[in-house]
Amino acid sequence: MYKAVVLGAAGGIGQPLALLLKSNPLVKELALFDIVNTPGVAADLSHIATPAKVSGYLPPDDGLKKALTGADIVVIPAGVPRKPGMTRDDLFKINAGIVRDLATGIATAAPKAAVLVISNPVNSTVPIVAEVLKKHGVFDAKKCVVIKRPTLLWLFFDFFPKRLFGVTTLDVVRASTFVSEVLGDLSLASSVTIPVVGGHSGVTIVPLFSQSSHPLPAGFSPSDLQALTTRVQFGGDEVVKAKDGAGSATLSMAYAGAEFAGKVLRALNGEKGIISPSFVHLSCDKAGGDSLKKVIGKELDFFSVPVELGPEGVAKLHSLGNLTEFEQSLIQAALPDLESNIEKGVSFIESPKL
Ligand SMILES: NC(=O)c1ccc[n+]([C@@H]2O[C@H](COP(=O)([O-])OP(=O)(O)OC[C@H]3O[C@@H](n4cnc5c(N)ncnc54)[C@H](O)[C@@H]3O)[C@@H](O)[C@H]2O)c1
Ligand SMILES: O=C(O)C[C@H](O)C(=O)O
């Protein structure tokens, strides 16, 4: 039984996510932190007849530290959402600083916790958390040695962040739902699985429909495939447009966040064989990161890949499998944005001027 913490718990995602975590039998303690309203949200949830003990914290009196102390898993949906016409990258100006400060709290009060980042832009906020954890010397590190030149022995230390995850589960959930719609049977949605790799914004979202557990119908044309891919890549825009200024996906994100958090908790609890895509650091582990870097053909430090979860967080990075020519072209199209999003997050911590 574990302690779960939600940072940004009074928001559109935070509240339903906290509700779902309160219903998870593996959660024995649920701590809610936000800059507003958490005492009320906690009081409300605390009347639900499930075992988790709920408490709410605000910034005064070391609220962040109190919420985080003893955490096994921390989920971060804090920050501003998009309005129509904005990209996720437009959120960087506000959310980068919020995520940096919360990561600093985690580094000092809960350095062993699994950290699940929902706040956008995920492609940049995850590198921000990694850099903050590194600065505090608590980025779970697995050192490896790479001889870069035969004559000069360069020692290159890489890090293995076993516990840091960018939450891309909403893309996976959308892919499953949209495929079940194409198959004309929504009751299939929860059993359809499709790896979605790359990152979490526009063209960096790469669904691998060729690996769908349920094949697309015969006669599904290349233009149908392009349209389905675009729908997953821009599913977030669909919701932002429909909400018309009132924010972005909250309920589907809470569902997806609780799904992923539930898997991480089950793996922490010893369950084996749980695999889910997530935006993670590619380590220099030969079986994982290095071979992935070869497949994508670029030295990116972060990428969403199918991750096998374990008692320490990331147990193993899985390969992207056999890619079609179309999927390879999608990955190539994702790389420039991914590279600049990652670099933007890293340099925000190296030099925090915008
Ligand atoms: N990863 C994904 O797939 C995904 C999906 C949907 C939304 N998002 C992102 O999640 C974030 C939150 O979205 P939302 O709709 O819940 O927004 P929201 O505005 O409804 O809620 C955000 C909450 O964060 C809180 N907050 C702000 N600064 C904080 C701080 N310093 N510490 C703690 N809490 C703080 C706010 O008070 C608010 O309660 C956005 O950045 C959004 O883009 C990501
Ligand atoms: O689209 C957004 O801004 C929110 C989220 O990233 C989503 O995919 O729904």
Q: What is residue 143's predicted lDDT score, i.e. its pLDDT?
A: 46
Side chain identity at residue 242, one-letter code: A
**Do 269 and 316 fall into the same domain?**
yes
pLDDT at residue 160 is higher than 70: no
Number of domains in the chain: 2
From ligand 1's centre to the CA of 313, what distance in Å?
24
Q: What is the pLDDT of residues 303-317, one digit of tens each?
A: 999 999 999 899 999
Q: What is residue 145's predicted lDDT score, i.e. its pLDDT?
A: 42
**Do 107 and 230 fall into the same domain?**
no
**Do 75 and 119 fall into the same domain?**
yes
From ligand 1's centre to the CA of 43, what distance in Å?
21
**Do 156 and 186 fall into the same domain?**
no
Q: What is residue 140's predicted lDDT score, i.e. its pLDDT?
A: 76
Q: What is residue 346's predicted lDDT score, i.e. its pLDDT?
A: 96
pLDDT at residue 201 is higher than 50: yes
pLDDT at residue 151 is higher than 70: no
- Buried-state track 12-23, b at ≥16 Cβ within 10 A, e below 16: bbbbbbbbbbbe
Percent of the chain with pLDDT over 90: 86
**Do 123 and 205 fall into the same domain?**
no
Beta carbon of 126 within 6 Å of any ligand 1 atom: no
**Do 9 and 139 fall into the same domain?**
yes
Average pLDDT over residues 113-139: 96
Which of 57, 80, 106 has most ligand 1 atoms within 8 Å of CB, for mutation? Answer: 80
Residue 353: pLDDT band by 50, 70, 90 thresholds?
A: low
Q: Which residue has the higher pLDDT, 294 or 300?
A: 300
Long-range contact pairs involving 81-84 (C-beta distance under 8 Å, separation at least 24):
81/12, 81/120, 81/240, 81/247, 81/248, 81/250, 82/120, 82/236, 82/240, 82/247, 82/248, 83/240, 83/245, 83/247, 84/240, 84/241, 84/244, 84/245
Q: What is the pLDDT of residues 48-67, one digit of tens each?
A: 999 999 999 999 999 999 99
Beta carbon of 240 within 6 Å of any ligand 2 atom: yes
Q: What is residue 158's predicted lDDT score, i.e. its pLDDT?
A: 45
Beta carbon of 78 within 6 Å of any ligand 1 atom: yes
Q: What is the pLDDT of residues 6-41, one digit of tens each?
A: 999 999 999 999 999 999 999 999 999 999 999 999
Residue 11: give the domain boundaries.
Answer: 2-166
Cβ partners under 8 Å of residue 105, min gap 6: 64, 65, 68
Q: Which residue has the higher pLDDT, 150 or 215?
A: 215
pTM above 0.80, yes or no: yes
Active site residue ranges:
200
Beta carbon of 147 within 6 Å of any ligand 1 atom: no
**Do 161 and 28 fall into the same domain?**
yes
Residue 153: pLDDT band by 50, 70, 90 thresholds?
A: very low
Q: Is 76 helix (H, G, I), strand (E, B) or coil?
A: strand
From ligand 2's centre to the CA of 237, what distance in Å?
7
Q: Which of 166, 184, 203 is the last residue of a domain?
A: 166
CATH number of the domain bearing residue 26? 3.40.50.720
**Do 73 and 143 fall into the same domain?**
yes
- Buried-state track 263-299, b at ≥16 Cβ within 10 A, e below 16: bbbebbeeeeeebbbbbbbbbbbeebbbebbebbeee
**Do 260 and 203 fall into the same domain?**
yes
